[in-house]
């Protein structure tokens, strides 16, 4: 959009002289102001409303998912480097140490307690796995990326191939 409004007659003159700054159609001064507004200022309020609505929607989704959609799981599957290492029942309180014997370079300590699973300790550099919240619902995971350890909760449809007591 040009910076100046152009009178209709001037437009025809400009066309005749083929000046590249002129638009193909004449622009009414009011339209120009409206168009200028879309460059940023006036319509920005709607943008903020939109962004805020999305944030609210996201929060509502998160709450709905957490409370209604997620199902309680009954087993915790320990994967090392993509392969299933052990399957633990959530109803049995245990502590499992995964270390060099299990095939990782270091150690992770997994705890099952009161139907929840969490990483009690690990010797990885950032200990993100240890700081992660305890999990209990189907699909939730605790991941230790440096050690390639993934703990995933599975539910009723899952098949137990072995339970560690």
Partner 1 sequence: MNKKGKRVAVCGVLTTVALIFSYIEALIPIPIGIPGVKLGIANIAIIAVIYIVGDTEAIIVNLLRIVLTGILFGNFYSFLFSLVGGMLSVILMILVKKIKKLSMVGVSMIGGVAHNVGQIVAAVFLMDNTAIAYYLPVLIIAGVVTGIVIGYVGQLVTKRVESNFKVNYYN
> Where does this chain bind partner 1 (CB under 8 A)?
1, 21, 23-24, 31, 34-35, 38-40, 43-44, 46-47, 50-51, 54-55, 57-59, 61-62, 65, 69-70, 138-141, 143
Q: Which residue, 13 or 35, is less far from partner 1 as judged by CB?
A: 35
Tokens of 123: 């010797």
Q: Which strand ranges, in their side-by-side order, compose the sheet holding 116-122?
A: 94-98, 108-113, 116-122
Q: Which residue, 79 or 94, is less far from partner 1 as judged by CB?
A: 79
Four-residue CA torsion sign, 110, 150, 73, 89: negative
Give least dist CB 37 to partner 1, A: 9
- Give phi and psi for 102, each to the nearest 5: -80, -15
Q: Which residue, 24 or 101, is less far from partner 1 as judged by CB?
A: 24
Give least dist CB 101 to partner 1, A: 27
d(CA 22, CA 10): 9
């Amino acid at each position: 959009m040009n910076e100046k409004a152009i009178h209709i007659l001037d437009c025809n003159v400009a066309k005749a002289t083929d000046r590249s700054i002129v638009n193909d159609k004449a622009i009414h001064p009011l339209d120009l102001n409206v168009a200028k507004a879309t460059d940023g200022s006036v319509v920005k309020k709607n943008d903020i409303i939109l962004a805020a609505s999305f944030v609210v929607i996201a929060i509502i989704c998160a709450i709905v998912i957490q409370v209604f959609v997620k199902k309680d799981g009954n087993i915790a599957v320990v994967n090392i480097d993509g392969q299933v290492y052990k399957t633990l029942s959530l109803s049995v309180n245990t502590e499992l140490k995964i270390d060099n014997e299990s095939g990782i370079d270091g150690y992770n300590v997994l705890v099952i307690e009161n139907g929840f699973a969490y990483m009690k300790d690990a010797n990885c550099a950032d200990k993100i796995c240890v700081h992660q919240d305890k999990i209990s619902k189907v699909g939730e995971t605790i991941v230790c990326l440096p050690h390639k350890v993934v703990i995933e909760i599975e539910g009723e449809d899952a098949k137990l191939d072995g339970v560690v007591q």
